[in-house]
Structure 1
């Protein structure tokens, strides 16, 4: 399977959609010849897809990757994509077939309409005449549905296994108990998915929780940039006629970390950094340590990579021995979103192996007073010599610049050059470059340290307020500008919505791999808000 990322527009390798269609599409039902042609060992997977018109390839690949994750199978085992024949001109599906090197089976609507699907959709039946294109396409392909169908941004994907192939056990699965209230905290290593985590949604982020009128405890970003930074950015608006030149900002970031400039690549926030890494790397075994920020895995799936997960149970401490020795790409957050756990630097360094790329997401490290466990380095404390280490940094959290999108990668020059080769021209705009130049000065770094110390004090007040709420388990000790808690009480699953009804937006955390019903992430605000929130949480946990 190719690991080269395709664009959202057009086809791959300069070929037209017509050329791809001629090569990959097959009209009519999948017949027994498919089974005969694909004899061999391992899973043989059919992916059924229903999509809105004009969907982009990234959304299709994200939806497929998450559906395969739910089913516990790998992208390399896909032997066919199936859909309704009305989709024969859908470029994203044609491109997906081309990337995977498998046929796109186009099935007549009347064939799909007679399939007895388990999850019919009245809207789909009204529009297409088929109760579920994705599920029906799998069933019409003589395949058995596995896992739940998955919908992501207008794309619905169902996964099936061909009847002729027996289900094989998933490798490296440890079926020890989950962590939780009074339960063992043994961590588990498994490929892609476990049924306990069906609520997960790699595309859900805290900003989706925000609506006017709610107190925002869902987004982990400073409320607004300081006045001096706002004034500097306003001044920068007068000089937008020139194309962005990243050299000065790159030098400033390099100086802030005591590194040469060729070890810095500026990006449009941390999210773009993960996309660039996913495009530039071709891992044999990519491992993501969860629970953590979902964009690293989302970027890998969108780039066509298989992902293996190491899922930590409470209290979410990392044992490097859980990561398979042959993993050649490992991604971990520090401090981790959403757990707020700060892993010791030596624990992360122990993950290093010859030939392995180790990606550490330090998006919230500048909110940790002293940054003692950082691997990014400073002029006074140079970065450790760890082969394959890449550090991802964000400048949007502490400085209230989420809308500006600015971050960077720190790593070996050759790897950063490979990432830069996949980056859009002028990806980081002029105002973002001005912000990077401003907030990496020694004076700004000192200001960020003072802000981190003050915020740590506010976090301690929040923890004290939460300690007075019965049936609330706070994971700790937290080290980031947010805390992760688990609600008990008579109805943990309803706490999130009851808080919303009472005027509070918090980040539901059951969408993170490894977490389930009742988990919430709460941003640290000032102490007056923390006290009011604790009272509202008490009422939400104990309704009536």
Structure 2
């Protein structure tokens, strides 16, 4: 693990604005999508119906009080500790613009939007790079003591590593804002290692997204959990009515007992499908393919020889996967694969066998 300085002019070739949806644009309708980490069978009918009902009230300005209260109740928090946002991406922008920080540090490889938002707000960003030989696991001691803003994902995109809550807690200290991106935590059975709802960690800010498990990327809905004074500061930086009425209706619906039970069931299903995918991938070890494990998110990270050529070959065979070289700490040998149902995975593994033939012989 090492620390790396990073400024506006030092991106080292990493396209921080590249996201999985770019892999399926254009001819994406003909590709099986393993590039985007959104559940393929969502949103469910009952959620679509709740959103549809909300369309009858579009003439009125959005009122987020019910949705905010539902989120607070789901996590056992007062409403003053909750802020609804237009997806987690808006939360990263608010944090970058509203908080006064001197030395922000982002723990990589991880989702690149936090660093991009910090850079756009004029901050010079330091990186702590987790290493493959350490299993991309967090060592809290590697984060500089004078960092007053630290960002980490848990489970981390793209590595699928779930860091122990006790290790993440060690990053907290007075005078530091600790941002934990838990966008994929509801895909972890039992949400073990979650910090959402914790009030005993100084400076803790937890971000959650409803776009992954519920397939609402086009609706843009997420939320921030933090101390009331931090929430107030972020809220002042928001425009008026930042979350639409349909998104608020979705947020309230996803906090209900039925929805939480469905999400818990989906997390177990994802875990089983991920195990099937990993077992299939490990059959290609002789081809030099390596899987980062143990994986705990709805995606896995793999290293493969000639990965760029393999990715292009997979496209010709009908499958889109996420390139890894846009993540700081990774290079062109990495690919991220979203977990899909067993039938889709089996077809993908057959295509991967053909694509890896490029590296044989």
- TM-score grouping bracket, smaller chain normalisation: over 0.9
1:350 pairs, out of 170, 182, 191, with 170
Aligned mates of 2:127, 2:62 — CA distance in 1? 38
Counterpart position of 1:408: 223
Aligned mates of 2:353, 2:163 — CA distance in 1? 31
Counterpart position of 1:521: 336
Secondary structure of the residue aligned to 2:262 is: helix
- Spell out the pairing of 1:24-173 with structure 2 (5 A cutoff): none
Q: Which segments of 5 or more consecutive residues in structure 1 lack a partner in the other structure? A: 1-186, 378-382
Counterpart position of 2:49: 231
Would you say 1:249 and 2:59 are equivalent positions?
A: no
How big is the shift at 1:269? Answer: 0.2
Aligned mates of 2:154, 2:307 — CA distance in 1? 28
Counterpart position of 1:36: none
Aligned mates of 2:6, 2:329 — CA distance in 1? 11
How big is the shift at 1:295? Answer: 0.5
Higher alpha-carbon deviation: 196-205 or 467-476: 196-205
How big is the shift at 1:505? Answer: 0.4
1:280 pairs, out of 89, 98, 101, with 98
Q: 1:329 to 1:208 in 2, by over 3 A?
A: same
Higher relative contact order (CA 8 A, sep 6+): 2
Task: Determine if contact 2:290/2:302 at 8 Å carries over to the other structure.
Answer: yes
Counterpart position of 2:161: 341
Task: Determine if contact 2:108/2:127 at 8 Å carries over to the other structure.
Answer: yes
1:308 pairs, out of 117, 121, 126, with 126
Task: Determine if contact 1:471/1:541 at 8 Å carries over to the other structure.
Answer: no
Aligned mates of 1:198, 1:468 — CA distance in 2? 34
Would you say 1:460 and 2:275 are equivalent positions?
A: yes
Counterpart position of 2:254: 439
How big is the shift at 1:198? Answer: 3.7
Structural RMSD (CA): 1.3
Would you say 1:481 and 2:290 are equivalent positions?
A: no
Counterpart position of 1:181: none
How big is the shift at 1:254? Answer: 0.1
Counterpart position of 2:324: 509
Counterpart position of 1:205: 19
Counterpart position of 1:28: none
Task: Determine if contact 1:197/1:516 at 8 Å carries over to the other structure.
Answer: no
Secondary structure of the residue aligned to 1:346 is: helix
Aligned mates of 2:281, 2:12 — CA distance in 1? 28
Aligned mates of 2:36, 2:307 — CA distance in 1? 21
How big is the shift at 1:384? Answer: 4.8
Q: Which runs of 4+ in 1 moved over 4 A?
A: none
Q: 1:431 to 1:462 in 2, by over 3 A?
A: same
Q: How many residues align?
A: 349
Counterpart position of 1:263: 81
Counterpart position of 1:215: 32
Task: Determine if contact 2:308/2:323 at 8 Å carries over to the other structure.
Answer: no
How big is the shift at 1:197? Answer: 7.9
Aligned mates of 1:249, 1:235 — CA distance in 2? 15
Higher alpha-carbon deviation: 491-500 or 441-450: 491-500
How big is the shift at 1:495? Answer: 1.4
> Which has a greater percent of helix?
2
Counterpart position of 1:423: 238
How big is the shift at 1:281? Answer: 0.9
How big is the shift at 1:192? Answer: 1.7
Aligned mates of 1:222, 1:279 — CA distance in 2? 31
Secondary structure of the residue aligned to 2:336 is: strand
Task: Determine if contact 1:392/1:408 at 8 Å carries over to the other structure.
Answer: yes
Secondary structure of the residue aligned to 1:212 is: helix
Aligned mates of 2:302, 2:282 — CA distance in 1? 11
How big is the shift at 1:237? Answer: 1.1
Deviation string 1:260-304 (CA, Å, 9 cap, x unpaired) is 000000000000000000111121110000000001001100111
Counterpart position of 2:309: 494
Would you say 1:393 and 2:234 are equivalent positions?
A: no
Task: Determine if contact 2:303/2:333 at 8 Å carries over to the other structure.
Answer: yes
Aligned mates of 2:310, 2:239 — CA distance in 1? 42
Counterpart position of 2:143: 323
How does the TM-score come out when normalised to structure 2?
0.94
